[in-house]
Amino acid sequence: MVRFLGNNGLSGSIPSQKSETLTTIDLSYNFLSGNLPSWVNSRLQLNLVANNFTFNSSINRLLPGLECLQRSFPCFRNAPRCTSLNF
């Protein structure tokens, strides 16, 4: 099951339980906060960009770089502005 919930103005925390069939979830560009539930792991495809989550060390080891994608983290402070982006 795939769920796209990005850019919906959602706030609060992610529920502690999920559907057994959920394989992909996009929660990007919301106002979610708190800790990530235990069901968040590397087998799940997820997009958590631009939220306000709190990360503990076990999540940082499991999903390295995740903290850098949050609203409050200045990843590229004083970095030059990109003029092109290719995928």
pLDDT digits (tens, 9 = 90+) for 46-60: 888 888 887 666 565
The pLDDT, as a whole number, for residue 45 is: 87
Report the sign of the C-alpha dihedral through residues 3, 40, 55, 46, in that order.
Answer: negative
Distance CA 27, CA 48 (A): 5
The pLDDT, as a whole number, for residue 87 is: 41
Return the minimum-mean-pLDDT range out of 4-8, 26-30, 44-48, 60-64.
60-64
Residue 18, token pair as written in the block: 């999920």
Looking at the chain, the whole-number percentage of residues with pLDDT higher than 90 is 33
Which residues make Cβ contacts (< 8 Å) with residue 52, sequence separation at least 6? 31, 32, 33, 70, 71, 72
pTM of the entire predicted model? 0.65
Bridge partner list, 82: none
Domain-wise residue ranges, the chain = 2-69
Encode pLDDT of 60-83 as tens digits.
Answer: 566 656 656 655 555 545 555 544
CB 36 within 8 A of CB 15: no
Distance CA 78, CA 63 (A): 25
